Amino acid sequence: MSERFKYVEDREMFSAARVKALEALLIEKGIISSEAVDKVIGYFETDMGPFNGAKVVARAWVDPEYKARLLKDTPAAVAEMNFPRGMTGVEGEEMKAVENTSDVHNLIVCTLCSCYPWPLLGLPPYWFKDPSFRARSVREPRAVLKEFGLELDDSVEVRVWDSSAQIRYFVLPERPAGTEGFTEEQLAALLTPEAMQGAAKVKVG
Amino acid sequence: MITKFEHFAASSLMGGSETLPRSNGDLLFKKLWEDRAMGLAITLSKKGHYEWESFRQELITSIAEWEASHCKDDPSWDYYERWLLALERIVIDSSIISSEEWDSKTKELLNEKCL
């Protein structure tokens, strides 16, 4: 930080002013538009749109029999949900739900960008298609999960699943504590694409 | 494969000390100015004012400088302060704006207390 500002006591206020000054100058000079930064930030907070996978998971959390069917024959259990045509993925493709428990954490990676079941899971997050993400997830999944802000106990086994054109995986996350009275709809609202790829846990609130 | 610049920028930081801080999968911003600083760095590179790799190197340097003069568990560690330092350097070096006008605008905003 510049020497001449060393007397500014509140570093936070200074940093905030510094950033605001930069953005204001860039806009004044016509270097960026006033919406440019909002757009970039918005990209990271994109609403993933219809997120049917969340409904599948919520159903499995409230209905143990449905859950058993989902783990045994995922495509048939997904078909039971009667999603609009085309909203569950390509017809006839094989899908497999893998269950997170207190002992096992599953992480999904993807060899080809085409094998992402986006109608079910929402648009893939930006990091999912990254080749280095995939390579490192296979090699050092715990380190990658830690970068996502998810630290797992050493006792938890981490399984990495490589989605392919033949079989596409998604994670059935653990139902979070404190959701006993929740409706299916409330439960579905807790799900994120990250949770269904195993890069996050489901949190309440 | 079509990759959004934003996706490329964030992914290229993973795997080292320059990784963007996250909490349970989501990017973690503790203060209001942090996401603006993140967005500004990416926006300027996206518009071609500097290579993303050049920014990444500035970020690695600014983090290394802090690490060389602090204990690893020093609680004053602040990722986005290092980010802001890297951004200041690359913006000035790339002659996008001058340090004088940036300083004077900063003073102006601090005096107006309109933050």
Q: Which residue of B7, B38, B46, B52 is the best one to mutate when testing the A interface, meaning the one whose CB has the most A CBs within 10 A?
A: B7
Question: Distance (Å) from the C-alpha of residue B55 to the closest C-alpha of chain A?
Answer: 16
Which candidate, B52, B48, B53, B58, places its Cα nearest to that of B96? Answer: B48
Give residue A7's pLDDT.
45
As a whole number of angstroms, the distance between CA B96 and CA B40 comes to: 12
What tokens were used for A173?
A: 């996350």
pTM, two decimal places: 0.65
Give residue B3's pLDDT.
56
| Average pLDDT estimate for B51-67 | 94
Q: Which CATH number fits domain A49-197: 3.30.365.10, 3.40.80.10, 3.90.700.10, 3.90.330.10?
A: 3.90.330.10
Closest Cβ opposite residue B23 in set A11, A38, A149: A149
Neighbours of A184 (CB within 10 A): 15
Q: What is the ipTM of this complex?
A: 0.92
What tokens were used for A128?
A: 């999912």
Domain that holds residue B77: 4-111
**Quick one: closest CA in B to A43, which residue?**
B6
Number of H helices and E strands in chain A, helices first, is 10, 4
| Average pLDDT estimate for A15-42 | 93
Q: Report the number of distinct structural domains present in chain B.
A: 1
Task: Tell me if residue A34 is catalytic.
Answer: no
Question: Distance (Å) from the C-alpha of residue A129 to the closest C-alpha of chain B?
Answer: 8
Task: Say if strands B22-23 and B26-27 run parallel, antiparallel, or are unpaired.
Answer: antiparallel
Question: For residue B82, what is the domain's CATH number?
Answer: 1.10.472
B62 with B86: CB under 8 angstroms? Answer: yes
DSSP calls for A113-153: GGG--HHHH-SPPTTTT-HHHHHHHHH-HHHHHHHTT-PPP
The domain limits of chain A are 9-46, 49-197
What tokens were used for A160?
A: 């990495």
Task: Tell me if residue A115 is catalytic.
Answer: yes
Q: At what angle do helices B32-46 and B79-93 cross, to 10 degrees?
A: 30
